[in-house]
Structure 1
Amino acid sequence: MSETAAVTGSGPEVRSGGCLCGKVRFTVTGPVDDPHICACTDCAKRSGAPFQWWVGFPMAGLEWTGAEPTWFDTHPGKTARGFCPDCGSHIAALDYGGATIIGILATALDGHESDQALVPTNLNRLSEAAPWLAQVG
C-alpha cells in the first residue's frame, strides 16, 4: 500500500499497519469508529506514556496479514491487548463477549500522521491521567 493512510474508491476504506519490526501486520476495512485518546492508568502503564491514541474498526474487517499478535488479558475475561512478541509494539485491544469493534492503536497504522479520519474526537478517563497532563499546552 502507498503512503496514503486509507485507500478508497468504489469500495470501503482499507488501512494497513503493523508493529515496529514488521512481524505483526494487518489490514482493517471499514469506517473509523471513536478515534480517541485514553489516559487511563492501564494504557499509561502498558505504554510507558501518559496516554494512548485508539481507533476502532469493524471486527469483521480485520485481517492479520503477518503474524498475529500475542494477547495479554489486561482485564481477565473482559479485555485483552495485542502486542508483537518480538519488538513489543502495542497493536490492538479486544473486548471479549462477541465484540464487533476492535481497537487499534492509531500509531500502528501506516500513514496515521496524515489520515484526518483518525484525529481524536475526545480524551477518555482524564481523571486517571498524570496530574500534569491537563497543564501541558
Structure 2
Amino acid sequence: MPEITATASETSSGLDVRSGSCLCGKICFTVTGPVDDPHVCNCTHCAKRSGSPFQWWVGFPMEGLKWTGEGGEPRWYDTYPGKTARGFCPDCGSPIAARDYGNDTVIGILATALDHYGTDEALVPTNLNRVAEAAPWLAQCDTPPPTAG
C-alpha cells in the first residue's frame, strides 16, 4: 500500500481546506483557513477526557468550520464551566474539538481527528502547554530503547 502524502487541499480562494471526523464517522467536518497554534497540551482535563497523557490541538478560524456529517455538531461538555467546552461524538465518544466562551474567532480541533494528520506538516506542534501537569515519566520517552546485542 503506498504511503499517504496528501495534506490539505486548496480551494479557489487559496485557503487550505482540511477534513476530519470522529471514529464512527457520524460527526464529520471541514476547516478552511490557516493553522493556528498547533500544540500539545498536558493539562489534567485533556488527560482525563482522552485517556491519554496529552492531546494534540490545532486552532482554525471559527468561520471556516463546517459540520458535514449525518450526526451534525458534536455534543458539548463544559470542562471549565463558563470558560471552555469540549466537543465529542455522542455515539463513539471520540473527542473532536474545543471552544472558549467569548472567543468566536478560533475553534480548537484535535489534530488526530483530522484526515492526514500524520503527513500534514502544518500540524506539527510548535509548543508544549501545561508541562508542569505532564506525567513525570514522559521525559523518559525521548530516550531510545536499548539495542539488542
Stretches (4+) displaced over 3 A:
none
Q: How far apart, CA to CA, are the structure 2 residues paired with 1:128 and 1:35? A: 19
1:107 paired residue among 112, 117, 120: 112
For these two proteins, the number of residue pairs brought into alignment is 136
Amino acid at match of 2:38: P
* Selected match of 1:81 from 76, 82, 86: 86
For the residues of structure 1 that align with 2:108 and 2:45, how far apart are their CA atoms? 15
Of all paired residues, the percent bearing the same amino acid is 74
- Kindly indicate whether the alpha-carbon contact (under 8 Å) linking 2:11 and 2:17 is maintained by their aligned counterparts in 1: no
- Aligned letter for 1:76? P
- Correspondences of 1:24-103 after superposition (within 5 Å): 24-66=27-69, 67-103=72-108
Deviation at 1:8, TM superposition (A): 1.6
Which residue number in structure 1 is paired with residue 9 of structure 2?
Answer: 7
Letter in 2 for 1:77: G
Larger Rg over CA atoms: 2
The equivalent residue for 1:131 is: 136
Secondary structure of the structure 1 residue equivalent to 2:47: helix
Give TM-score scaled by structure 2 length: 0.87
Q: Partner of 1:16: helix, strand, or coil? A: strand
Letter matched to residue 111 of structure 2: A
2-structure distance, mates of 1:72, 1:129: 23
Normalised TM-score (structure 1): 0.95
Name structure 2 gaps, 5 residues minimum: 143-149
Report Cα offsets for 1:51-75 as digits up to 9, x if no partner. Answer: 0000000000000001210000000
Q: Hey, what's the Cα distance between the residues in 2 that align with 1:37 and 1:95?
A: 17
Q: How much has 1:108 moved relative to structure 2?
A: 0.2
- Per the alignment, do residues 9 and 73 of structure 1 end up closer, same or farther by CA in structure 2, a change over 3 Å counting? closer
Q: Offset at 1:134?
A: 1.9
Using a 3 Å threshold, how does the CA distance of structure 1 residues 82 and 9 change in structure 2: closer, same or farther?
A: closer
- Kindly provide the amino acid, as one letter, of the partner of residue 101 in structure 2: Y
Which runs of 5 or more residues in structure 1 are unaligned? none
